[in-house]
Chains A and B, each alone.
Chain A
Amino acid sequence: MSDISNFSDEEDSRQDDCALVDALSEINFNEHNIDSIRQNKLEESQEQKHEIHSDPASSSSLNFVDVDEYDYLHDSEWINQKCHVFILSTAGKPIYNLHGDEEKLNTLFGLLQALVSVVQTDDDCIRSITAKNTKFVFLVKSPLILVGVNKSNRSEQQIYNQLMDVYNQIIFIVTLSHMKSVYEKRNNYDLRKLVAGSERWVDHLLRNEKRTRICNSSFVSLTHSVRILPMESSIRDSITSTIQSNCNKIKNLVFAVLLANNKLITLVRMKNYYMHTDDLRLIFNVIDCSESFKSAENWLPICLPKFDSNGALYAHISYISDDCEACLLLMTVDQESFPILSNAKKNITEKLRRGNYIEAINTGMKDKGIKLKSDIGVSEIRHFFYKNKKNTQLLCSEITAPYIDNLDQFEKLEAMYYDLHNRIHRTSRPLKLIYEMHQHEIQLAWVTANYELYATFEPLVDKKSVIIAQVNKLLKWIRKEEDKLFMTGTHIF
Chain B
Amino acid sequence: MSKTQISLENFFIFNSSFGPNEGEEEKKILLFHPEIEKNEKLKNIGYIEALVKFTGSFTLEPTSNRDVMTMKTKKFTKFFFEPEPNFWIVMTIKNPKEQKTKDNREYTEYFTDDVHNDVFSKILQRCYLNFRLFCNTFEHNMIGTDEESQVDHLRMKLDNFFMKYLVTLNLKNCDIFDLIQSIQYKAVSHLTFFKIVNLINMLISIKNLKIKKCIFLYNQEVVYSSISPDDLFIINEYMMESLFPKYFRLKSNQGLDSDRSVGGFVTENETETPQNAPKVYLYGDGKGRFECETFRMVLYNIMDVSLVMLVEDDDDAINDEFYNEIKYSIGPQLGLISKEISDNIIQIQQNVTKSQTEESAKNFIYCNHRNYRFHACFNENNTEITLSNREGKKSSQLSLSIMNLLSDLYSKDMTDELIDSERETIIKTFNDYWIVKKYFNYRSLYLIIHKNSTLIDVAEESSKLLSEIVKNVYFTN
Contacts and interface: CB of A to CB of B under 8 A. Distances in A.
A251 interface: no
Interface stretch (A24-32, A118-126, A195-203): A118-126
B356 interface: no
Interface in B368-425: 401-402, 404-405, 408, 419, 421-425
Given A134-B58, A429-B401, A464-B455, A439 B71 contact: no
Nearest to B454: A468
Contacts of A114: 50
Interface stretch (B72-80, B144-152, B222-230, B291-299): B72-80
B236 interface: no
A79 B72 contact: no
A276 to B, nearest CB: 22
- The 9 tightest CB contacts between A and B, nearest first, are A428-B113, A429-B401, A131-B55, A433-B428, A437-B424, A435-B426, A130-B70, A127-B72, A131-B69
A111 B46 CA distance: 12
Given A79-B60, A80-B60, A111-B53, A126 B71 contact: yes
Given A112-B54, A431-B430, A464-B455, A129 B59 contact: no
Q: Is the interface of B mostly helix, strand, loop or mixed?
A: mixed
Given A127-B112, A132-B63, 6 more contacts: A114-B50, A115-B51, A126-B72, A428-B114, A439-B421, A468-B456
B55 A439 contact: no
21 contacts: A111-B53, A118-B47, A118-B50, A125-B74, A126-B72, A127-B74, A128-B70, A131-B70, A132-B61, A149-B58, A430-B429, A432-B429, A432-B430, A433-B455, A435-B426, A435-B455, A437-B422, A437-B423, A438-B423, A439-B421, A468-B456
A112 B427 CA distance: 38
Nearest to A133: B59
B244 interface: no
A279 B456 CA distance: 41
A128 B74 CA distance: 10
A108 B50 contact: no
A109 to B, nearest CB: 11
B190 to A, nearest CB: 36
Q: How large is the interface on A (under 10, 10 to 19, 20 to 34, 35 or more residues)?
A: 35 or more
Contacts of A426: 113
B67 interface: yes
A113 to B, nearest CB: 11
A268 B424 CA distance: 47
Interface string B3-47: 000000000000000000000000000000000000000010001
A222 interface: no
Contacts of A430: 429-430
Contacts of A439: 419, 421, 423
Contacts of A450: none
A437 B58 CA distance: 34
A429 B69 CA distance: 23
Contacts of B456: 464-465, 468
A475 interface: no
B341 interface: no
A134 B43 contact: no
Interface string A13-44: 00000000000000000000000000000000
B424 A433 contact: no
Interface in A127-179: 127-132, 134, 136, 149, 151, 156
Contacts of A112: 54
B46 to A, nearest CB: 8
Interface of A: 73, 76, 79-80, 84, 108, 111-112, 114-115, 118-119, 122, 124-132, 134, 136, 149, 151, 156, 423, 426-439, 464-465, 468
Q: How large is the interface on B (under 10, 10 to 19, 20 to 34, 35 or more residues)?
A: 35 or more
Interface of B: 43, 47, 50-51, 53-55, 57-61, 63, 67, 69-76, 111-114, 117, 401-402, 404-405, 408, 419, 421-430, 432, 454-456, 459
Nearest to B404: A429
Contacts of B114: 428
Kindly name the residue among B54, B111, B401 whose own CB sees the greatest number of chain A CB atoms within 10 A. Answer: B54
Q: Is the interface of A mostly helix, strand, loop or mixed?
A: mixed
Contacts of B425: 434-437
A118 B112 CA distance: 19
Contacts of A131: 55, 58-59, 63, 67, 69-70
Contacts of A436: 423-426
Given A76-B60, A84-B58, A111-B54, A129 B70 contact: yes
Contacts of B117: 130
B71 A468 contact: no
Given A111-B53, A128-B71, A437-B425, A79 B59 contact: yes
Nearest to A126: B73
Contact of B72 (A122, A128, A438, A468): A128
A99 to B, nearest CB: 12
A428 B404 contact: yes
Contacts of A435: 424-427, 455
A135 B308 CA distance: 43
B270 to A, nearest CB: 46
A151 B430 CA distance: 30
Contacts of B69: 129-132
B52 to A, nearest CB: 9
Contacts of B63: 131-132
A472 to B, nearest CB: 12
Nearest to A157: B113
A443 B140 CA distance: 51
Contacts of A423: 408, 427
A439 B423 CA distance: 7
B73 A127 contact: yes
A111 B50 contact: yes
Given A439-B419, A465-B456, A124 B405 contact: no
B59 A132 contact: yes
Nearest to A438: B423
Nearest to A428: B113
A435 B53 CA distance: 40
A465 B454 CA distance: 11
Nearest to A436: B425
A433 B112 CA distance: 24
A122 B92 CA distance: 15
A430 B61 CA distance: 35
A130 B55 CA distance: 9
B74 A124 contact: yes
Contacts of B70: 128-131
Contacts of A429: 113, 401-402, 404-405, 408, 429-430
Contacts of A122: 75
A129 B455 contact: no
A132 B73 contact: no
Kindly name the residue among A114, A125, A131, A464 whose own CB sees the greatest number of chain B CB atoms within 10 A. Answer: A131
B57 A427 contact: no
Kindly name the residue among B53, B419, B427 whose own CB sees the greatest number of chain A CB atoms within 10 A. Answer: B427
Contacts of A433: 426-428, 455
A119 B430 contact: no
B429 A431 contact: yes
A438 B72 CA distance: 31
Contacts of B432: 432
B455 A468 contact: yes
A128 B71 CA distance: 6
A423 B435 CA distance: 13
A288 B214 CA distance: 70
B67 A132 contact: yes
A464 B462 CA distance: 13
A435 B401 CA distance: 19
A248 to B, nearest CB: 38
B59 A427 contact: no
A136 B71 CA distance: 9
Given A131-B59, A438-B423, A464 B459 contact: yes
Nearest to A435: B426
A125 B112 CA distance: 11
A134 B55 contact: yes
